Structure 1
Amino acid sequence: MFAGHAALRHWEPVHFDRHLIRMATRPGIFPTFFLSGFECSTFLWKDGRRRDLVDETQHREHALEDYRLLRQLGIGVAREGIPWPLVARQGGFDFHWIEPMIAACRETKILPLWDLCHYGYPDGLDPFSPDFSLRFEQYCEAAARHVSTHLPGPYYFTPINEITFFAFCGGEWGWVAPYCKSRQEREALREALCLAAIRGVKAIRSVLPDARMVHVDPLVQVIAPADRPDLAEAAAHETHVDTFRAWDILYGKERPELGGAPDILDIVGANNYSFGQMEYREQGPHKALEPGHPGIEPLCVLLHRIWDRYKRPMIIGETSGMSKGRPEWLRDVMQESLAAVNRGMDLHGVCLFPAVDMPDWHTGEWLHNGIADLVPDDGRLRRVPYQPYVDELRRWQKELNRVTSLDDDPHSDPVELQEVIEAARRLRPQPDANWH
């Protein structure tokens, strides 16, 4: 499948004198095709305890090391969190929590894609009240001013991470605040989050008119159990309607009175994990399909459901395999993504998330889904890259003619998307229902 002469006959941007580099014919939105990020949830968990996953992974104290890892890997953009519940103060905001990340971004010249609400909001704030979207708007404006004062552009933001999943785990399953447990509350929470996100986009752009927004939500495919054909309609509704509800509102297709528009949706981030393909359950989370299940759809098909609906620039907003399956997962995701490119999808990047490992929310066990594992060592968490995963990344960087490490000015030349398109045509990957 991999042409051995490909690297020789394709332009290698990192090896040429900058004055000789040709202009991109189809410039990408981001400085590198591969992105990454750091788990940054700050939810109130179902036990009432505030979680700070940045603290649990020691990312705050290892920020420079973590960003240097990305730089060595040729990754120039990282999803990074601003912890709204922690920075919010009576009468203002305290952004010292992100000083290590800003310093690391400044030194490594990696651009952050700021998550402003990663499942967490300030204590005492009711997401169903009008005050929620007002407070979020004020916070977004302050965050935009702060990061633009301390870092050069361009600027990228995700106002509210995974609105649909947030609505499920906080509005129907009761995992996180506001601990609701009905489908009606789930839908009310989703609309409240959409309204806040729309107002947040406008607040950010009042400070940074050219800021780009990436709105991420999971790719979902739901089928009825074989012995419950009566659930087929409900499963199809989740697959073809509910999955898109938040994006539809942000785009302005649904509830236009909330202020959504195509430029609000801007860039669509499709988060892709194996457990996004599920068997319908009437109560609680659905059951993930086992590999080889006949109900599994190729990732290419799921991506095109989004592309056909919005025709907006897209990225894989998060994706990762688990443990020893990480390199195979990346291979499958790339093959499916390039198959979607061959069908016309405007793909601007793939985010390998997380960069360093994260704990399972429920058990606390390390998931081994990062580019680097976290190994306890006398109270510290050592970062140990998982080499087979890194090797697979390197192989795809060469296939797409992408840089394998960042130079002194990684943002001077945009990604040449035409080379990604040409690689897709050359490799001709076919959608595979057994991709996961």
Structure 2
Amino acid sequence: MAETQHREHVDEDYAFLRSLGIAVARQGIPWPFVDKGGAYDFSGLDPFIVAMNRHQILPIWDLCHYGYPDGLDPFSADFHDQFAAYARAAAEYVTPRIRGPHFFTPINEITFFAFMGGEWGWTAPFGRTDEQRRKLRLALCRADIAAVKAIREVDPEARMVHIDPLILVVAPKDRPDLADEADHETFEDTFFAWDVIAGRRHPELGGSPEVLDIVGVNCYSFGQMEYRENGPHASLEPNDERIRPLGDLLTYAWERYRRPMIVGETSGLREGRPDWLCDIVEESLAAVLKGIDLHGVCLFPAVDMPDWHTGEWLHNGLCDLVEENGSLTRVPFQPYIDELRRWQKRLNRVTELDEDPFSDPVDLDDIKAAAERMQMTSDKNWC
């Protein structure tokens, strides 16, 4: 929020979404900044709530997008209770202030969080072993399930969007002996957190299909990788014959859980943004045509973001950011906007929100009809 000046530009940012016909946005609540040792100060959310209400944007509240308050230990016996207490307090604060229905992502990308914090040492708790990764992953799953139940004590109708990357890992061409390890990561590790939340593994933690609820899959070009024994894997180059269609990956998740799905994050880079959007929509329509219950695609981010490692602007948003006299001016990337407009028209979607956008909700039958009309097929040329 600080690096992109989202707090200072929040009204402008949501007005921009409204002008694009976008009525739903993922919005983070920074747990470390609102939790004062069990006492909570959510007043920092007020400008965001005011802007969302003014522009009629429905939030999906992201309660833990990596990171936790100082003094907490994710491996402690009471970590899940403390997270559940925070989640309950967050739900009590936002649900009366925002028009429903209410959506939450308790812990974002548990699988990736566990790699970053448990094995790669990128973020707290800065673990460096596979054992620490697995231990952190299970602790986060337990906390997530506890949070879902706490939120639903506040709003029994609250919906959950559980988000993790949907990936493919393949063996190096010169190391076919690593095929089993690569497959394990693709078909087991990728789904472990969702499995626990759905009650398929560790049922003693209280997971169930209703707790899992909506499956949010994050899909990026770098999500198809060549296995590395140590550290992050290497992204496959475009046109690598080992790339698989996005539709195949969506099918893996759909057949495993049979729960409503969204693409929870996706974006291209720089000049590739419009082509990436086209590919994602075509793959999504092909998935709908196959009977996958796919409800939407979330473009991430709305405005630009800095590279985690270099700090340079990635140019992956609907807007680029240009510094002018200490302020970050939002500059829409017009080719990306034009491609969005093209698909809105093809899918019979609104291009700008009216006075009451929720009075006429999206009819998925329109999308299914469009998929039937266009007869999209899944292909490998999507990254």
Query: Which range, TM-score by smaller chain?
Result: over 0.9
The offset of 1:311, in angstroms, is 0.5
Letter in 2 for 1:101: F
Deviations 1:201-247 (A, max 9, x none): 00000001101000000011000000001100000000011100000
Distance between the aligned counterparts of 2:293 and 2:193, measured in 1?
21
Residue 415, structure 1, aligned to residue 362, structure 2: yes
Distance between the aligned counterparts of 2:192 and 2:95, measured in 1?
32
Partner of 1:427: 374
The offset of 1:90, in angstroms, is 3.0
Partner of 1:281: 228
Partner of 1:183: 130
Deviations 1:398-434 (A, max 9, x none): 1111111111111112211011011111111121112
Residues 12-411 of structure 1 aligned to structure 2 (within 5 Å): 54-411=1-358
Deviations 1:131-166 (A, max 9, x none): 211110000000000002322211000000000000
Distance between the aligned counterparts of 1:275 and 1:342, measured in 2?
26
SS in 2 for 1:179: coil
2:166/2:217 contact within 8 Å kept: yes
Distance between the aligned counterparts of 2:155 and 2:106, measured in 1?
14
* Aligned residue-pair number: 383
SS in 2 for 1:231: helix
The offset of 1:81, in angstroms, is 0.5
SS in 1 for 2:278: helix
Deviations 1:280-309 (A, max 9, x none): 000000000000001100001000000010
1:223/1:280 contact within 8 Å kept: yes
Distance between the aligned counterparts of 1:340 and 1:348, measured in 2?
11
2:170/2:183 contact within 8 Å kept: yes
Letter in 2 for 1:348: H
Letter in 2 for 1:172: E
Letter in 1 for 2:367: V
Partner of 1:29: none
SS in 1 for 2:244: coil
Letter in 1 for 2:4: T
The offset of 1:326, in angstroms, is 0.2
Distance between the aligned counterparts of 2:80 and 2:11, measured in 1?
33
The offset of 1:192, in angstroms, is 0.4
Letter in 2 for 1:376: E
Letter in 1 for 2:134: E
Identity of aligned residues (%): 64
**Structure-1-length-normalised TM-score:** 0.87
Distance between the aligned counterparts of 1:406 and 1:249, measured in 2?
38
SS in 1 for 2:373: helix
Partner of 1:24: none
The offset of 1:314, in angstroms, is 0.4
Letter in 1 for 2:240: H
Letter in 1 for 2:304: D
Letter in 2 for 1:138: A
SS in 2 for 1:334: helix
Partner of 1:11: none
SS in 2 for 1:56: coil
SS in 2 for 1:318: strand
Letter in 1 for 2:102: Y
The offset of 1:275, in angstroms, is 0.6
SS in 2 for 1:411: helix
Distance between the aligned counterparts of 1:68 and 1:207, measured in 2?
30
Distance between the aligned counterparts of 1:142 and 1:158, measured in 2?
15
Letter in 2 for 1:136: F
1:61/1:100 contact within 8 Å kept: no
Distance between the aligned counterparts of 1:420 and 1:127, measured in 2?
42
**Structure-2-length-normalised TM-score:** 0.99
Deviations 1:247-293 (A, max 9, x none): 00010011111110001000000000011000000000000000000
Distance between the aligned counterparts of 2:222 and 2:45, measured in 1?
31
Structure 1's 90 and 240: CA in aligned 2 closer, same or farther, altered over 3 A?
Answer: closer
2:38/2:86 contact within 8 Å kept: no
| Structure of higher RCO (CA pairs closer than 8 Å, 6+ residues apart) | 1
The offset of 1:380, in angstroms, is 0.7
Deviations 1:74-103 (A, max 9, x none): 000000000000000134101122111111
Distance between the aligned counterparts of 1:396 and 1:58, measured in 2?
29
